[in-house]
Amino acid sequence: MSAPTRPVVALVDDDENDRLFFERAVRKKGYGWKIVALATGREAVDYLSGAGRFADRSAWPLPSHVLLDLKLPELSGLEVLEWIRRHPAFQALPVIVLSSSREPSDMERAKALGIDAYEVKPVEFRALVLTVASIAERWRIAGAPAP
């Protein structure tokens, strides 16, 4: 019997502190996720398409889930989402927006483009830990601890 594989979660966020706090919240919950941290929309598209430095899939495996900020350099989160949904290989890939934007227009556009969920980034670390737990439970991300 082989060991379960570690889930790969792509975290696309240009704010280094937000990425670090998210990774810390995942560790605090004890989740065994491999987090691929990406800082730009272009980097996210390159990673998903296996372009450039992401060509080696043994080093850069495809994610089981994408957590996507909307306000990104190079390509916005909405442009990345639109790219993902245009590619048949990624139609079933769960994309969860994790953004500080509470703008109804952002939420509506993201829903129209096919997000699976929209989470507003919490300001406090304790609330972020709860958000991470909610995402893990709702999306049944493998490697999450049993309740």
Q: pLDDT, tens digit, for every residue of 74-108? A: 999 999 999 999 999 998 999 999 999 888 999 99
The mean pLDDT of the chain is 91
3-state DSSP helix/strand/coil % of the chain, to nearest 5: 40, 15, 40
Residue 146 half-sphere exposure, CB side, CA atoms within 13 Å? 0
CATH 3.40.50.300, applies to 8-138: no
Residue 112 half-sphere exposure, CB side, CA atoms within 13 Å? 8
Domain ranges of the chain: 8-138
Nearest-angstrom CA–CA distance, 55 and 107: 32
Is the pLDDT confidence value at 1 over 50?
Answer: no
Is the pLDDT confidence value at 51 over 70?
Answer: yes
Q: What is the pTM of this model?
A: 0.91
Is the pLDDT confidence value at 34 over 50?
Answer: yes
